[in-house]
Amino acid sequence: NAGVTQTPKFRILKIGQSMTLQCTQDMNHNYMYWYRQDPGMGLKLIYYSVGAGITDKGEVPNGYNVSRSTTEDFPLRLELAAPSQTSVYFCASSYSRGLAVQETQYFGPGTRLLVL
């Protein structure tokens, strides 16, 4: 298993440009997450999904959009890039049984985004 893969690894965007960060997992996990990591701030949840066709906002969703058309893929879309979106983005997945507490999260290697 490849686990959680993310592309690209690094990207420079100009203000106002748009892009999609790709995330794929091959573990048949039902839950998927997008986080951003800024120095000294830990991980902030942007969006999450509990299954194909279902997404919900996290703590910092403004300026981002997601979709979940398949179990494997959970792309993150930035429509109008702003310098405040300069960050490292991590995708994660986990498996949860019904209403049980979610189990271990598996993280991708991250995408470094610089908006100038």
- The window from 15-23, 65-73, 76-84, 97-105 that contacts another protein (CB under 8 A) reads 97-105
- The window from 11-19, 60-68, 71-79, 103-111 that contacts another protein (CB under 8 A) reads 103-111
Contact 28, 51 (CB under 8 A): no
Cα–Cα distances (Å) from 40 to 5, 44, 91, in that order, read: 25, 11, 19
Which one of residues 48, 68, 78, 87 is an interface residue with another protein (CB under 8 A)? 48
Beta strand 111-115 with 10-13: parallel, antiparallel or unpaired? parallel
The tokens for 81 are 């890039």
Q: Decide whether 31 or 64 has the Cβ nearer to another protein.
A: 31
Residues within the interface to another protein (CB under 8 A)? 4, 31, 40-43, 45, 48, 50, 58, 90, 92, 94, 96, 99-102, 104-105, 107-110
